[in-house]
Structure 1
Amino acid sequence: MRDRRQVLKNTHQEVRIFRLRSLLALLVVVALTTTLMGRLAYLQVTQHEVYITRSEKNRVRVEPLPPTRGLIYDRNGQLLAENRPTYNLMLVRERVEDLDATLNLLVELLALPEEGVEAFRERSRQRTRPYQPALLMSDLKEEQIAHLALNRHRLPGVEVEAQLLRYYPDAEMLSHALGYVGRINAEELATLDPGNYAGTHFIGKTGVERFYEDVLHGQAGLRKVETNARGRVLRELGRTDPVPGENLTLTIDRDMQKLAYELLDGRRGSIVAIEPASGEILAMVSAPGFDSNRFVTGIDVASYQALQEDIDLPLFNRAIRGQYPPGSTIKPFLAIAGLAEGVITPNRVINDPGYFQLPGDTRRYRNWLRWGHGRVDMERSIEVSNNTYYYTLAHEMGIDSLHERMTAFGFGQRVGHDVFGESAALMPSREWKRGRFNQPWYPGETISVGIGQGYWQVTPLQLAAATAVLANRGKWVKPRMAKRIGDHEQETVLPDTLGDIVLDNEAWWDKVFSGAEKVLSGSEGTARRTGVGLDYRMGGKSGTAQVFSLGQDQRYDADELAERLRDHALFVAFAPLEDPQIAVAVIVENAGGGSTHAAHLARAMSDAWLLDDEAPDVEEVREEMESDNASVAGN
């Protein structure tokens, strides 16, 4: 029994095992304690700066302060684009527990239309950094603000903020010249400086607003605020104020712009007026226009679709993107080109039987006066707008010389300095046709170019710029929109300005001027009725641009055509001849002859700029234009 008890219980061994286990437990405790102390030392000492910074970030937040956008004025200090206070709906995603539920509640409270819900949700995802608020909706109504205030406890992370919103007092008549700002979209967000555009929700989309975005936007600021655990701001710890955008003074004259828009009277067309000596654009109208204020806060889908589908294309900027055959308006420029090439002299006379024929060709290229003008020299060719003279001139010059000389006047090129979205239009050439159609250039196509038809396309801005060069006797001054940025006057001599046009004989300019003056004052002038009662000397040229080509023996009859198939009416003018102060280009789509439907508009613009009297009465101008409609024939 004794031996058995010794086998069942070994006190010595148990004590040894107990001590071993205690030692191991002690080692584990020591190891864990050492690890814990080491970790505490690492966090509290080694990583002290890191974690105190993180702690500070939980308590202190840096918020962007968007700059105030610069204002836009006309040349006389009249406000064209201002900033009005409004209330915007902002959302910080990091403070929202259930984003979908919050957005659904907002849609319900704001009573958003179904077609706007997806865009509303998309805006909630547009931001560049954590805790930066996303702009969900602009220009909240009082009723919407009240609903949001009553449900504020249900909307963590949602705030209503007072901000400045762009507003255009004369939105429709300046919609194309000024352009507009709109919400920053996802593509723009990816390319913008996230620091400078932090807190900014709008950016220039078109026109002056787009071209001078860097100037108008300014520099963003920031402020450091202390927040509680729920993200509410407790106090401001410091700030760096934003730098407001520079104010922009344009060369545009608001009164001239208004007059031009009213003169067009809702007709499709454009009027551009330039001061030749400085290149300052006094008016640049494209009609019809649109309400650009609707684009600032985000136009609804139905309204935007209606604008896009409007047959009159109100969103299309005809002044810089509309491409039209120049018609007979280019005859003074072709006369200068012929003199420079030595193809004609001022005294050269041709006999016009009413048509021109290429050697060996039976086709007749007809003058607008079917029985012809008889003996025609250069001055008379401009006065009566004789086609045969310029058929002959174009044939003798050839398309290569025509292209070179007309390019020197700016045709086929972008001529404006700060005109965003300008088209180069088209000055055709052999190389262009070969590349476009893989066909050679034919002599008959040169004949069409000689009267501003065929492939030749110009914009109203190009026509006005070329007329300004003519008024300057060949001196190029690039058209521009900005007169001052802040208090700094803009330079008149701008980069990439085309070279001056120099003639061997300066007196040739006088000859062309004389022909252009007779258009309005001569006994045979195509716009002689427009020139009645002029108080200054004015040069001009009418033009009629065909919308479709007539057959060999067809005659144009506007009464038999649909309105949109009728000819475009054009007129270019500059005055006074001794020291030109204004150059104007007018295009009225499908209006008929330029001498009746466009010349009066050009004179009204010149009268308004040159005379001290009140602006011309628009109704009287319309009455005069209508009375001349059936009285003056030709181009």
Structure 2
Amino acid sequence: MPAHHSTLNAPDGELHRFHFRVILAGIAVLGALALLATRFFYLQVVQHDYYTTRAEDNRISVVPIVPNRGVIVDRAGVVLARNYSAFTLEITPSKVADLEATIDGLGQLIEVLPKDRKRFRKLLEESKSFESLPIRTRLSEEEVARFAANRYLFPGVEVKARLFRQYPLGPIASHAVGYINRINKRDLEMIDESELAANYRGTDHIGKTGIEQKYEFQLHGETGYEQVEIDAGGRAIRSLSRTAPIQGSRLTLTLDVKLQEMAEKAFGDRRGALVAIEPATGGILALVSNPSFDPNLFIDGIRSDDWELLNNSPERPMLNRALNGTYPPGSTFKPFMALAALETGKRTPGQAISDPGFFNFAGHHFRDDKKGGHGTVDMYKSIVHSCDTYYYMLANDMGIDAIARFMGQLGFGQKTGVDIEGESEGVLPSPEWKKRRFRRPEQQKWFAGETISIGIGQGYNSYTPIQLAQATAAIANNGVMFRPHLVKYITDSRTGEKTMIEPEPMRRLAWKPQHVETIRNAMVGVNTQGTGARAFAGAGYTSAGKTGTAQVFSLKGSEYKSSRLKQELRDHALFIAFAPAEAPKIALAVVVENGGFGAQSAAPIARMVFDYYLLGKLPKGAAQEDDVEED
């Protein structure tokens, strides 16, 4: 027999130990099975809803559908801003291992210019790495096909159909319409504060200036959503449901774009601004700031060289001079001063002064623009022939407090409330203003001599063209002042319902009708026999106006000779007017920077605007320098 023993013949101790190990193993197996069963129960029953949702989320992707941005048109329906669809080549940086190599590779297939690379790098700095950024926009069909055939070589790169904003008239009315550009951090903060973040999912652009900015939420519309089933690789399999986006509202402006275009051309290459208002409603008919800029440059992210050109140009084309430019009003201030004199009882229409050509105050001679003076001057003559001495004396008699109170009612030195952001307040001088403006006590004191120059629209006076236009419209409308506005009505894209922007009277000034009539008659005289007569000779309507010339720097008693001065030191030319004088349909203010006399530079522009708006034609000729009364 063999020497070894079988298990059955093993001693009782060893058999006992074997049974014990078998039992322990069984317990361990049962315990493990119990744990698995418990975990299975927890996952399948207790956490069923949670993991079902997670699985569904992994299987279903919610894709935002960006709405069409609302169209902007002028009062006649001429399109100022619209959309069109085009293909864009886009890179998601987080999905690309070597960005430069990828761009180089794309350049072998599709033309990628240095300007495209520059713009992409700029966008990369401003954006998140997981965002899709354009390297090329507006691809041709051939370029799209070429990339599609080689798409497998470029993970993280794809062609997308995008909606692009377009401004078909280019620079025309660009300061009024504004432009859109890519959303930045500040825009995101604004969106979050407005609690509209969900409505901007998938949106890359937002209004930056003008109407595009002010009416952003109306123009944007409502974002739609599509539920798409995806596979494990993240590829779309099929669409499960779709909520269509709602196009942004259509904005109809008060602007007459043909009038706008004509007014811009009237400036030529001169810097300046023009604001034309419908007196009975406050609707802005034209808002010119010259030079202008092409808003189409900004849509894809402006090229750095284009931005340098615009931002550093001495002509400052990005400055909205109509709303942000502030200028001394010069003699265009005189009709308002005369009305203040009538309303406060400081003057009557027939009350006259003798003008020797200067006004002497505390040993200082305030000179009139006409050597030897204008002789005997009443209120009518003071406006028609723009007598400075009359207003030196009037300002001294009224005092700064009375002047500031009256001019404040007309809106000088305060924002008009026009529906464009960034409007300047200007400066309405007063002792209170001076205390706020200066730090040192000796600078804060108001001196009586400072009031004198205020009377002729000089000194600390500084107003925007839109403030001048609003005040002029108030005289044209017998003291009823409306808030200037650019949007006439908003059309809902779903229902077609129009929401009118109702004319909003800011205030009704209780002027005596005979006082207003006195001022209006004198302003008619300006354009028939005074400083504006040459510019309005032969007009087929009666207009009322006032020329003005504003000093850029102090002459310190010297005689003004424009030919001896650098262009930027020459006087600004101004003109305010309304027409037809008996039933005004249009009121305006014109400023031509460093244009010299208002009669020479600004009044002819106003004549062209009135001729076009009232008669539908351009004037035959402009004023000649040699036979224009200066002011």
TM-score (norm 2): 0.92
TM-superposed CA distance for 1:126, in Å, is 6.4
Equivalent position of 2:384 in the other structure: 383
Check conservation: 1:109, 1:144, Cα contact below 8 A: no
Distance change (3 Å), C-alpha of 1:137 and 1:555: same
The percent identity for this pair of structures is: 43
Check conservation: 2:252, 2:487, Cα contact below 8 A: yes
TM-superposed CA distance for 1:157, in Å, is 3.7
Equivalent position of 2:506 in the other structure: 498
Distance change (3 Å), C-alpha of 1:102 and 1:58: farther
Determine which of 328, 333, 343 is the counterpart of 1:330: 333
Distance change (3 Å), C-alpha of 1:245 and 1:45: same
Equivalent position of 1:548 in the other structure: 553
SS in 1 for 2:626: coil
1:365 aligned to 2:369? no
Structure 2 CA distance for aligned equivalents of residues 563 and 190 of structure 1: 44
Q: Map residues 57-72 of structure 1 onto 2, 5 A cutoff.
A: 57-72=57-72
Q: Map residues 191-202 of structure 1 onto 2, 5 A cutoff.
A: 191-192=190-191, 193-202=196-205
Structure 2 CA distance for aligned equivalents of residues 416 and 147 of structure 1: 53
| CA RMSD between the two structures | 2.0
Equivalent position of 1:101 in the other structure: 98
For 1:151-184, what per-residue CA distance to the aligned partner results, in whole angstroms no more than 9, with x for missing partners?
3112334321112211001121221110001111
Check conservation: 1:107, 1:117, Cα contact below 8 A: no
1:631 aligned to 2:627? yes
TM-superposed CA distance for 1:112, in Å, is 4.9
Check conservation: 1:280, 1:479, Cα contact below 8 A: yes
Check conservation: 2:86, 2:139, Cα contact below 8 A: no
TM-superposed CA distance for 1:410, in Å, is 0.8
TM-superposed CA distance for 1:282, in Å, is 0.3
Letter in 2 for 1:158: V
Unpaired runs of 5+ residues, structure 1, are 128-132
Letter in 1 for 2:449: G
Check conservation: 2:92, 2:133, Cα contact below 8 A: no
TM-superposed CA distance for 1:91, in Å, is 4.8
Structure 2 CA distance for aligned equivalents of residues 440 and 104 of structure 1: 68
Structure 1 CA distance for aligned equivalents of residues 159 and 127 of structure 2: 14
Equivalent position of 1:155 in the other structure: 154
Letter in 2 for 1:71: V
Determine which of 252, 256, 275 is the counterpart of 2:259: 256
1:559 aligned to 2:563? yes
For 1:9-33, what per-residue CA distance to the aligned partner results, in whole angstroms no more than 9, with x for missing partners?
9822222222222222221111111
For 1:457-489, what per-residue CA distance to the aligned partner results, in whole angstroms no more than 9, with x for missing partners?
111111111110010111111111011100424
Letter in 1 for 2:15: V
Check conservation: 2:489, 2:501, Cα contact below 8 A: no
TM-superposed CA distance for 1:301, in Å, is 0.9
TM-superposed CA distance for 1:343, in Å, is 1.0
Letter in 2 for 1:33: L
Determine which of 584, 590, 596 is the counterpart of 1:586: 590
Equivalent position of 1:130 in the other structure: none
TM-superposed CA distance for 1:373, in Å, is 0.4
Check conservation: 1:86, 1:138, Cα contact below 8 A: no
Distance change (3 Å), C-alpha of 1:187 and 1:326: same
Equivalent position of 1:134 in the other structure: 132
Q: Map residues 209-228 of structure 1 onto 2, 5 A cutoff.
A: 209-228=212-231
1:85 aligned to 2:85? yes
Check conservation: 2:93, 2:99, Cα contact below 8 A: no
How many pairs align? Answer: 604
For 1:408-465, what per-residue CA distance to the aligned partner results, in whole angstroms no more than 9, with x for missing partners?
1111111133122211111111111112114201112111111111111111111111
Equivalent position of 1:419 in the other structure: 420
Is the deviation greater in 158-167 or in 27-36? 158-167
Equivalent position of 1:397 in the other structure: 398
SS in 2 for 1:357: strand
Structure 1 CA distance for aligned equivalents of residues 118 and 149 of structure 2: 26
Check conservation: 1:273, 1:284, Cα contact below 8 A: yes
TM-superposed CA distance for 1:146, in Å, is 5.3
Structure 1 CA distance for aligned equivalents of residues 146 and 365 of structure 2: 76
1:488 aligned to 2:498? yes
Equivalent position of 1:616 in the other structure: 618
Structure 2 CA distance for aligned equivalents of residues 137 and 379 of structure 1: 66
Q: Map residues 17-96 of structure 1 onto 2, 5 A cutoff.
A: 17-91=17-91, 96=95
1:532 aligned to 2:542? no
SS in 1 for 2:137: coil
Structure 2 CA distance for aligned equivalents of residues 423 and 605 of structure 1: 25
TM-superposed CA distance for 1:296, in Å, is 0.7
SS in 1 for 2:523: helix
Structure 2 CA distance for aligned equivalents of residues 319 and 528 of structure 1: 26
Is the deviation greater in 444-453 or in 69-78? 444-453
SS in 2 for 1:276: coil
TM-superposed CA distance for 1:147, in Å, is 5.6
Structure 2 CA distance for aligned equivalents of residues 123 and 136 of structure 1: 13
Runs of 4+ with >6 A deviation: none
Unpaired runs of 5+ residues, structure 2, are 492-496
TM-superposed CA distance for 1:117, in Å, is 4.5
Q: Map residues 117-196 of structure 1 onto 2, 5 A cutoff.
A: 117-122=120-125, 125=128, 134-137=132-135, 139-142=137-140, 145=144, 148-192=147-191, 193-196=196-199
Structure 2 CA distance for aligned equivalents of residues 217 and 138 of structure 1: 24
Check conservation: 1:227, 1:234, Cα contact below 8 A: yes
Structure 1 CA distance for aligned equivalents of residues 105 and 448 of structure 2: 69
Distance change (3 Å), C-alpha of 1:205 and 1:514: same
TM-superposed CA distance for 1:116, in Å, is 3.3
Structure 2 CA distance for aligned equivalents of residues 470 and 340 of structure 1: 13
Structure 2 CA distance for aligned equivalents of residues 106 and 230 of structure 1: 24
Equivalent position of 1:15 in the other structure: 15
SS in 1 for 2:574: strand
Letter in 1 for 2:435: R
Structure 2 CA distance for aligned equivalents of residues 609 and 271 of structure 1: 14
1:451 aligned to 2:456? yes
Structure 1 CA distance for aligned equivalents of residues 201 and 342 of structure 2: 59
For 1:203-237, what per-residue CA distance to the aligned partner results, in whole angstroms no more than 9, with x for missing partners?
10000000010110001010111112222212111
Distance change (3 Å), C-alpha of 1:161 and 1:502: same
Check conservation: 1:123, 1:135, Cα contact below 8 A: no
Distance change (3 Å), C-alpha of 1:315 and 1:126: farther
For 1:128-155, what per-residue CA distance to the aligned partner results, in whole angstroms no more than 9, with x for missing partners?
xxxxx53434633337645643431123
Structure 1 CA distance for aligned equivalents of residues 87 and 509 of structure 2: 55
SS in 2 for 1:172: coil
For 1:22-73, what per-residue CA distance to the aligned partner results, in whole angstroms no more than 9, with x for missing partners?
2222211111110011111111122122212222222211100111000011
Structure 2 CA distance for aligned equivalents of residues 436 and 161 of structure 1: 54
